[in-house]
Amino acid sequence: MAEGRRDPQPGDLIEIDRPLYQHWALYLGDGYVIHVTDERASSVWLSSSSIRATRAKVKKDPLEEVVKNHKWRVNNKYDRSRTPRPVEEIIRRAELCIDREVPYNVLNSNCEHFVTMLRYGEGESEQVQKAAAGSAAAAVGSIILGVAAFVGMALSESASRR
């Protein structure tokens, strides 16, 4: 399994740990990656402009420049459930996208969706799925706490009337 390797091969997915999220790129070879970026963002941190962005630019950049001082790894985690396209096709499709503007939405068309679409033909973002599941769990937890507080108040009020 390629997951966790530090010696990227053309077509590999590169996961870059950033504060609060992971940025994803696809390794092209010769030290270069392709990735989707919001050029208006002032840093590599998650910016409010990235959250609100509806368009982003596909860039070919040196891996070292994209990673900077953040931790990164090869992470072809979807290979367990999907069959990657042939490497030549992945690279050909990726190169057709360089310097193009593409639709961007942090929830359904982000950097991870972009690179998984290139590698597998289908976009997927586990970090969005986890965030959505966490939000749903938090919402259910809030509802349960609210109901418990309401029931507690009702029981308390009922006991004080006696």
User: Which residues are known catalytic residues?
Assistant: 23, 111
Which stretches in the chain have pLDDT values below 70? 1-5, 39-53, 129-162
What's the CA gap between 121 and 128, in Å, rounded? 18
Predicted confidence at residue 107, as pLDDT, reads: 85
User: How do 13-18 and 21-29 pair as beta strands?
Assistant: antiparallel
Give the 3-state secondary structure of residue 7: coil
Predicted confidence at residue 160, as pLDDT, reads: 56
Predicted confidence at residue 54, as pLDDT, reads: 84
Predicted confidence at residue 136, as pLDDT, reads: 41
H-run or E-run covering 36? strand 32-37
Predicted confidence at residue 138, as pLDDT, reads: 40
Is pTM beyond 0.75? Reply is: no
Strands in 49-143 per DSSP E:
55-62, 72-74, 101-103
Predicted confidence at residue 140, as pLDDT, reads: 40
Q: 35 Cβ partners below 8 Å, 6+ apart?
A: 23, 24, 25, 26, 58, 59, 61, 66, 111, 114, 115
What's the CA gap between 162 and 153, in Å, rounded? 15
Predicted confidence at residue 47, as pLDDT, reads: 41
Contact between 119 and 26 (Cβ < 8 Å): yes
What's the CA gap between 94 and 35, in Å, rounded? 9
* Tally of helices (H runs) and strands (E runs) in the chain: 5, 6
Instruction: Tell which CATH architecture fits domain 13-124.
Output: Alpha-Beta Complex (3.90)
Closest CA to 77 of 41, 108, 115: 115
